Amino acid sequence: AASETVLLNLKSESFAPVILRFATVFGLSGRTRFDLVVNLLTAKAYVDKNMTVFGAEQTRPFIHVSDAAESIICAMKKNRELVSGEIYNIGGSQLNYTLLELANLIKERVPDSFITIENANEDARNYNVCFDKAFNDLSFAPKFSLEDGIDQVVNKFKKASG
């Protein structure tokens, strides 16, 4: 938040800051991160046959890494007068899931896995985010579903082990 304020205060004729607030990223990339919840739980389900879910009822917004990159392109292509100084949530309303819903989607794709729900020290934060502004101003809508990203990770592990 502090860096956003600094950048927005620097707005001028020669500098047009646009703030993109990404939902939680998932999916494969050149340097896939397995510390992010979708990729991590999918890997745990495939390798360990168990996913431990902390805060099962927490709602989180998600975005595929390729869609996140596409949103940057969308912002860069727009008229600078329209987007300069604006803040956009990047994701899709259809990508708001609870962590338990996420785990169940993974279990559908890795049926021999188990879900362990851990309630101790449950984080009560919920982020059910609206992405209408990015859709309306940037013409951005995600193309990848959560299932697409889960399938990518599962297929990557299948190829590595087969």
Contact indicator for 95, 150 with CB cutoff of 8 Å: no
Alpha-helical runs (H) found in the chain? 2-9, 37-47, 65-77, 80-83, 99-109, 132-138, 146-161
The partner residues of 19 in beta bridges, in order of sequence, read 87
Could you tell me the pTM of the whole model? 0.91
Other CB atoms within a 10 A radius of the CB of residue 72 amount to 15
Query: What is the model's pLDDT at position 137?
Result: 96
**67 Rama sector, left if φ>0, alpha if ψ -120 to 50, beta otherwise:** alpha
What are the structure tokens assigned to 24, written together?
Answer: 């939680």
Query: What is the model's pLDDT at position 30?
Result: 87
Q: How many CA atoms lie within 13 A of 112 on its CB side?
A: 5
What are the structure tokens assigned to 133, written together?
Answer: 């502004």
Q: If you ran DSSP here, which 8-state letter would residue 95 be given?
A: G
Q: How far is CA 141 from CA 26, 65, 74, in A?
A: 16, 13, 10
Query: What is the model's pLDDT at position 123?
Result: 58
Q: Across the chain, which distance is largest between two alpha carbons, in Å?
A: 57
Q: What is the pLDDT along the chain (162 residues), one digit of tens a residue?
A: 899 999 999 999 999 999 999 999 999 998 888 989 999 999 999 999 999 998 888 899 999 999 999 999 999 999 999 999 999 999 999 999 999 999 999 999 999 999 999 876 655 667 778 999 999 999 999 999 999 999 999 999 988 877
